């Protein structure tokens, strides 16, 4: 009982703070005298003060009805010519070492304001970037690309974002301007998933769950600033993952990405025990 009480004092506060067992185990494994599976069993049996509801993955999600298709076939759209998912696969087969960045938009609830988040996800290290957009428009997305490429320099931007995979949202349907800066210098290459095939960029879709732990679905995004987005992505990128062998995306990014990205976007690692993926980290 004494050992279980000590284990409870270590595990439960971190779980209630929004951390995953994988993250806790990565930084406190040497203090835990049992396997992760055993910890799950203890929680399930009510031995700890933390309960199943404190485990994020225990939440049940409703299955969404499958979309039957769009009114206008996106496969025939001009912006997709030479940039389809099949073209993307061909490029990767020819250049297998090319780094891939997935890109998407996160929206608030309907009628809760126009502001959205632009997200980018580096496949090689699982680092996610979050940018606040005043509106979900092509102009706002292009402005982020221009600002980022000017701050990083064209050479570094090309190194970090050689290939971007995204969906067919109207905000991304100006590939010529996204791929080139205002001086018509090429900086990246854009490819589009097939219509209604979000699984083709499934890693960023899954990573959006971290945002929803802090900002529940349906809540307005209009009250958040870029400083808030930076705090949010720093906490997300500081959580250790079993899929990364106990490393954090931030730690891997230091080995795989140009450090100018971290300096420009104020990326930093949150101390392991201070990582929190709960609404309280953004004071609203």
Query: CB neighbours (10 Å) of residue 27?
Result: 17
Per-position pLDDT tens, the chain of length 284: 888 888 888 888 888 888 888 888 888 888 888 888 888 888 888 888 888 888 876 655 555 555 554 444 555 588 999 999 999 999 999 999 999 999 999 998 887 789 999 999 999 999 999 999 999 999 999 999 999 999 999 999 999 999 999 999 999 999 999 999 999 999 999 999 998 898 999 999 999 999 999 999 889 999 999 999 999 999 999 999 988 999 999 999 999 999 999 999 999 999 999 999 988 888 75
Where are any strands of DSSP class E within the chain?
Answer: 101-106, 116-122, 128-133, 164-166, 190-192
The answer to whether the beta carbons of residues 239 and 277 sit under 8 Å apart is yes
| Cα 128 to chain centroid, rounded | 4
d(CA 24, CA 15) in angstroms, rounded, equals 8
The answer to whether the beta carbons of residues 281 and 214 sit under 8 Å apart is yes
Distances (CA, A) of 145 to 31, 62, 103, 139, 156: 45, 35, 12, 10, 13
Which of 20, 16, 56, 19 has the alpha carbon at shortest distance from 36? 20
d(CA 17, CA 7) in angstroms, rounded, equals 16
d(CA 127, CA 244) in angstroms, rounded, equals 11
d(CA 150, CA 154) in angstroms, rounded, equals 7
| Cα 85 to chain centroid, rounded | 21
d(CA 268, CA 127) in angstroms, rounded, equals 12
Neighbour order of strands in the sheet with 190-192: 128-133, 116-122, 101-106, 164-166, 190-192
Burial class of 164 by CB neighbour count within 10 A (0 to 12, 13 to 18, 19+): buried
Quote the pTM value: 0.82
């Amino acid at each position: 009982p004494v050992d279980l009480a000590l284990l409870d004092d270590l595990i439960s506060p971190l779980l209630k703070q929004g951390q995953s067992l994988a993250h806790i185990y990565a930084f406190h494994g040497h203090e835990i005298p049992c396997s992760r599976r055993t910890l799950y069993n203890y929680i399930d049996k009510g031995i700890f003060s933390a309960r199943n509801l404190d485990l994020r993955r225990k939440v049940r999600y409703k299955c969404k009805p499958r979309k039957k298709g769009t009114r206008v076939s996106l496969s025939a759209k001009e912006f997709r010519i030479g940039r389809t998912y099949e073209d993307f696969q061909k490029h990767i087969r020819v250049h297998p070492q090319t780094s891939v960045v997935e890109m998407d938009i996160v929206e608030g609830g309907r009628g809760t304001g126009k502001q959205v988040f632009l997200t980018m996800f580096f496949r090689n290290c699982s680092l996610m970037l979050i940018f606040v957009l005043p509106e979900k428009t092509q102009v706002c997305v292009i402005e982020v690309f221009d600002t980022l490429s000017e701050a990083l320099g064209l050479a570094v931007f090309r190194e970090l974002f050689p290939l971007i995979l995204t969906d067919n949202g109207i905000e991304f349907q100006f590939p010529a301007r996204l791929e080139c800066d205002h001086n018509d210098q090429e900086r990246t290459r854009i490819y589009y998933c097939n219509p209604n095939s979000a699984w083709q960029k499934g890693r960023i879709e899954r990573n959006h769950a971290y945002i929803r732990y802090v900002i529940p679905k349906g809540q307005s995004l209009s009250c958040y600033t870029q400083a808030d987005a930076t705090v949010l992505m720093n906490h997300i990128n500081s959580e250790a993952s079993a899929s990364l062998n106990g490393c954090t995306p931030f730690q891997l990014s230091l080995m795989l990405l140009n450090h100018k990205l971290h300096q420009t976007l104020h990326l930093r690692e949150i101390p392991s025990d201070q990582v929190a993926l709960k609404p309280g980290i953004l004071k609203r």
